[in-house]
Amino acid sequence: MSEETKQTEHEHHIVGPGVYVAILLALLVGTALTVWASFLELGPWNPVIALAIATTKAILVVLFFMHVKYSTKLTKLTVMAGIFMFLVLISMTLADYMSRAWGSW
Amino acid sequence: MNGWRARKRKRWPVPDNSAIAHAGQEAITAAHHDDGDNSAHAEHPAYLRHHFESVEQQADTTNFAMWLFLLTEVMFFGGLFLAYLILRNWYYPAFVVGSHQLSIFWGTTNTVTLIASSFTMAMGVWCAETGRRKGLVLSLSLTFALGLVFLGIKSIEYHEKWEKHHIPGLHYSVQSFVNPASDPDIAEYHDKPLNMDMARHTELYFFLYFAMTGMHALHMIIGIGILAFMIYRARAGAYTSGHVTFVENFGLYWHFVDIIWIYLFALLYLISRHQ
Amino acid sequence: MNNNTNSIVDLPDQATARIPQPNFITKENGLLSWLLTGDHKRIAILYLISISFFFFIGGSLAGLIRLELLTPQADLMATDTYNKVFTMHGIIMIFLFLVPSVPATLGNFFIPMMLGAKDLAMPKINLLSWYLYVAGGILALYAMITGGVDTGWTFTTPLSTHYVNTNVITTGFAIFVAGFSSIFTGLNFIVTIHKMRAPGMTWFRLPLFVWAHYAASILMVLGTPVLAIAIVLVMLERAFGIGVFDPAKGGDPLLFQHLFWFYSHPAVYIMILPGMGVINEVISTFSRKRVFGYTAVAFSSVAIAVFGFFVWAHHMFIMGISNYAVLVFSLLTMLVAVPSAIKIFNWTFTLYKGSITFETPMLYAFGFMGLFTIGGMTGVFLGASGTDIHLTETYFIVAHFHFVMVGGMLMAFLAGIHFWWPKMTGRMYPEKISQLAAVVTFIGFNLTFFPQFILGMLGMPRRYASYPPEFQVLNVFSTAGATILGVGYLLPVLYLLWSLKYGEIAGNNPWQATGLEWQTQSPPLTENFTVIPVMDHEAYDYEWLESQKAKEVASAG
């Protein structure tokens, strides 16, 4: 406990408005990009690009708006754990769905 | 002695032994050799709960708790994302045609609105951290307003779905999908008519649309309610005299709700808009 | 004075001993001081009372089941009613008893004390947890009284969404609410264990009870929300016919099962891990030895939690998942048995060359070790998909999970209650009758559930009110055992309540156990410690305990 308290004391980094404005602009650009991309005919790459842009935006929000870039290791580990569990839910359920003989996979 | 009656204003019976706090402080300051900022330790601020040793511990702890709560939200929405993944892959044509029924104008506006509200929320946290009371009230009020705008647009969209009988389970109609020519809203997409089976599967698309955006909207409503409370307290200076954790932790919740929408926008609105 | 060499019990002189004042029970009076408390110890007592209440309702339902199964015909009640009885028995016992049993009572009470903290990280959330539990429980009872549910506790779709006309939505909502109770408790524990340890209390000095609860809390926090969304979807499907679980509309009923079992398999580890935590403490204390392989036991708790998330579809082998999925989940299920076995080995090695005494908590712990081993091994038979195809949905499954849950978890719960009773109440329970109750429970349990393994192998299906007459003899044994088991569970209620007024004064450390909670008065102060302790010794350090006693004797003399 004492170690983590020390870490927060030294890392109570106040993120300034400049960073926030930059991220805001990046997010707006990303939004425009993803809308534009949905009007293109890219076959199977459409959902990939949409998700890639959405994930990039999410990462920016997590790192900067939610201060994870400046947070303790524990916070970063917690975020990773959440993403990991979500991926386990998706991927292991897909192990069933994708290997069924029927269904349009 | 009826401690709880005497401390009715605080509502929760707390140990009234300030010696505990001091003894605890001594143990901690003895463990820390290079204590940085001592001003918070020296007094016992009113917002420091008695089972914590220091303001830092309280802030750290509540922050961690909020992150864990967000993990539960990830898993909660995760189930819906799983359903979406499976059903979209099974019934892609129905999902394409269904998503054409959503207005890209309103969807993009909503996305921009929420991103802007995340920005104003982050600015609010900065104002709280730097003691800017008026800035904090302004930021929270803007966030609140943008949240209301989002919900207003959502209700316009939901109303339109109601008018067109596209709400699952409530007189759902597949007319627009077996005969796209009858629906002027989607003329630009030149959708081919679906067979009856696939047309019925559009109901699953709309179930996901309402379940996911509805669950999201519910979280927005709760967030806006808390924002109202926060604006009221912020005006009294509650968050600009050192106790910023409430604003910070609410900010985490608000940004999370924004992230969910970023994915919902991509998955529900942008399935395939090419003509 | 320790008069009996066959017992480590060390009580103060009863002529002069008094319950120490103030303590958390007497500090404040009045109903509202309990109902609005933030004190984790009071909340634990509130939970203990409510959990016991639901246990006896669930137990009565079990009695009805066994009564019906005395005869091959469905003659005690209509088959529809029987369906409702076993459904409610399952729901109450799992969600309203087993899941909160050890964490909400003993965990709530002792985790802060074991950490050297004054309370859990979020006392108000703790109280909210209890209210959510009570609300969920009342709603479940309301659903039961106004018609019940008959889908089985597993709410399998499309039966629950399209074919029954019972109170599925109400019961589903009740579990949804109770689930949040579980989430908040787990959240509180994780945060407290990370952030509120006393100076010197490193992770590897924590009692293994805390490690077990940490692992269970991870499961609670990450698994329960998926159950929540599964229930929401069932409610929506029933109310609006959205089609997500309806094959006619293109939905998939198996999707519900994936979401449901994604939680419900980790749920069994949520139920058992805290019990294993209790066993650590009991076996160590009554062998006077530190737990063998502390690190292995600590890591195996976390391993059970992690691997527990990867095996859920072994509940779905015959439900229509692909053969590939069956293969994958069956292999992973073999893996998850390993950490549990590691714990059993470590406890056995703890016992080896220990100074073993047979007080009541230890009797329950021995019962746990034997019965959980049997239950666990039969789980391996079920994890192998080839045998599972024959044994699933038979009484073999019923026997398997009752061995681990009742023979395992419930015994661990009783072990914990008896072990910490003196600390919570300041009084000892009567030893002889409690040992008798433990033995009666063990005998009753085996007579009730062992025949069910045989019934399952012979092919008797579960969830049926009637059965072929050749199964009757074993069913009669099972019901007879259930009667004995009922006596075994009733006795503790009686003598524990008796002990509140007439039990011997326990003193601080009647078991001479290690652990910070035993260094304080019994019952503890509201604030637990007047001075936050500094932890300067390892866990289960009996030498340190000896040196403390020597210091006390020296200073008294």
What is the average pLDDT across C20-26?
A: 92
Residue type, C223: G
Say how many CB pairs under 8 Å bridge B and C.
159
Answer whether residue C7 is part of any domain.
Answer: no
pLDDT given at position B182: 87
In a domain, B80, yes or no: yes
Res. B169 pLDDT band, cuts 50 70 90: confident
Please report the DSSP string for A17-84 in residue order. HHHHHHHHHHHHHHHHHHHHHHTS--TTHHHHHHHHHHHHHHHHIIIIIS-GGGS-HHHHHHHHHHHH
Q: Are residues B38 and B88 in the same domain?
A: no
* Both structure tokens of B33: 């050799």
pLDDT per residue as tens digits for the range C33-48? 999 999 999 999 999 9
Q: Do C36 and B79 touch (CB under 8 A)?
A: no
Q: Do B87 and B47 have their domain in common?
A: no
Instruction: Note whether B238 and B150 are same-domain residues.
Output: yes
Residue B4 touches partner C, C-beta closer than 8 Å: yes
**pLDDT tens, C429-468?**
999 999 999 999 999 999 999 999 999 999 999 999 999 9
Q: Does the residue A27 lie in any domain? A: yes
> Is residue A21 assigned to a domain?
yes
Q: How many domains does chain B have?
A: 2
Distance between alpha carbon C30 and the CA centroid of its chain, in Å?
30
Chain C touched by A90 (CB under 8 Å): no
Judged by phi (left if over 0) then psi (alpha if -120 to 50, else beta), residue C9 lies in beta
CATH number of the domain enclosing B249: 1.20.120.80
The answer to whether residue A79 sits within a structural domain is no
pLDDT by residue (tens digit) across B112-165?
A: 999 999 999 999 999 999 989 999 999 999 999 999 999 999 999 999 999 999
B76 and B197 in a single domain? The answer is: yes
Distance CA C151, CA C129 (A): 27
Domain assignment present for residue C17? The answer is no
Sign of CA dihedral B261, B262, B264, B269: positive
Residue of C nearest to A4 (CA): C195
Q: Report phi then psi at C535, rounded to 5.
A: -85, 115
Q: Would you call the peptide bond into C103 cis, given omega within 30 degrees of 0 as the criterion?
A: no
Residues 239-268 of B with CB under 8 A from A: 248, 251-252, 255-256, 258-259, 262-263, 265-267
Buried b (16+ CB within 10 A) or exposed e, A55-71: ebbbebbbbbbbbbeeb
Total domains in the fold of chain A: 1
CA distance C518 to C509: 5
Determine the distance in angstroms separating the CA of B209 from the nearest CA of chain A, rounded to an integer.
Answer: 17
Total of domains in chain C: 1
Q: Does B204 touch chain C (CB under 8 A)?
A: yes
> What one-letter code names the amino acid at C100?
P
pLDDT at A1: 42
B-chain residues within 8 Å CB-CB of C233?
79, 83, 211
Contact B24 C532 (CB under 8 A): yes
Are residues B72 and B44 part of one domain? no
Rounded to the nearest angstrom, the minimum Cα separation between B138 and chain C is: 30
Could you tell me which chains touch chain C, where touching means 3 or more CB pairs under 8 A?
A, B
Please, what is the average pLDDT of chain C?
A: 94
Q: Do C258 and A96 touch (CB under 8 A)?
A: yes
Q: For tokens 């893996």, what's the residue? A: C335
- B5 phi and psi angles, rounded to 5 deg: -70, -40
Do B66 and B202 reside in the same domain of the chain? yes
Are residue B109 and residue B184 in the same domain, yes or no? Answer: yes
Q: Please check whether residues B225 and B117 belong to one and the same domain.
A: yes
Which among B17, B62, B204 has the least Cβ separation from residue C527?
B17
Domain boundaries, position C79: 31-556
Residue C304 φ/ψ region, left for φ over 0, alpha for ψ in the -120 to 50 degree band, beta for the rest: alpha
Rounded-to-integer distance, Cα C216 and Cα C212, Å: 6
Please indicate, yes or no, whether residues B42 and B62 belong to a single structural domain of this protein.
Answer: no
Average pLDDT over residues C308-323: 94
Same domain, B45 and B152: no
- Interior CA angle at B257 toward B254 and B263, to 5°? 145
In a domain, C23, yes or no: no
- φ and ψ at C427, to 5 degrees? -125, 150
Asked if residue B116 is part of any domain, the answer here is yes
Say if A101 falls within a structural domain: no
Cα angle value A54/A56/A57 (rounded, 5°):
65
CB of C96 within 8 A of CB of C54? yes
Range of the domain at B209: 55-269
**pLDDT, position C556:** 60
**In this structure, is residue B67 part of a structural domain?**
yes
Q: How far is C301 from chain A (nearest CA, A)?
A: 17
**Burial classification of residue C557, based on how many CB atoms lie within 10 Å of its CB (0-12 exposed, 13-18 middle, 19 or more buried):** exposed
Phi, psi at C461, each rounded to 5°: -75, 155
Q: State ipTM.
A: 0.93
Sign of torsion over alpha carbons C46, C48, C54, C56 = negative
Return the half-sphere exposure (C-beta side, CA atoms, 13 A cut-off) of residue C327.
6
DSSP state of C394: B
Select the residue of A4, A74, A95 nearest C324 (Cβ to Cβ): A95
Residue tagged 């009554």 (tokens) = C286
Q: Is residue B150 part of a domain?
A: yes
**Residue B275 domain-assigned?**
no
Q: What DSSP state is assigned to residue C358?
A: -
CA-closest candidate to residue A54, choices A20, A26, A35, A30? A30
Do B34 and B164 belong to one domain?
no
Packing angle, helices C168-195 and C208-240, rounded to 10:
150
Q: Sorting pLDDT into bands at 50, 70 and 90, what band is C4?
A: low
Provide the residue range defining the domain that includes A8: 2-71
CB proximity A92 to C under 8 Å:
yes
Which among A10, A85, A104 has the least Cβ separation from residue B89?
A104
In whole angstroms, give the CA distance from residue C69 to residue C467. Answer: 8
Min distance C264 CA to chain B CA atoms (Å):
14
Regarding whether B240 and B215 lie in a shared domain, the answer is yes
In a domain, residue C18? The reply is: no
C90 to each of C65, C259, C400, C408, C414, how far by Cα in Å? 11, 19, 14, 17, 20
Query: Do residues C78 and C158 make contact, with C-beta atoms less than 8 angstroms apart?
Result: no
Given CB atoms, is B121 within the 8 Å cutoff of chain A?
yes
Q: Is the Cβ of B56 closer than 8 Å to some Cβ of chain C?
A: no
Name subunits touching B (3+ CB pairs < 8 A).
A, C
Do residue B87 and residue C119 have CB atoms under 8 angstroms apart? no
Residue B168 φ/ψ, nearest 5 degrees: -60, 140
Q: What is the pLDDT of residues C324-333, one digit of tens each?
A: 999 999 999 9
pLDDT in tens, B75-101: 999 999 999 999 999 999 999 999 999
A82 with B74: Cβ contact below 8 A: yes
- On whether the CB atoms of residues C279 and C415 are closer than 8 A, the answer is yes
pLDDT given at position B103? 93
CATH number of the domain where residue C112 is located: 1.20.210.10
- Pair C260, C95: CB distance under 8 Å: no
A81 touches chain B (CB under 8 A): yes
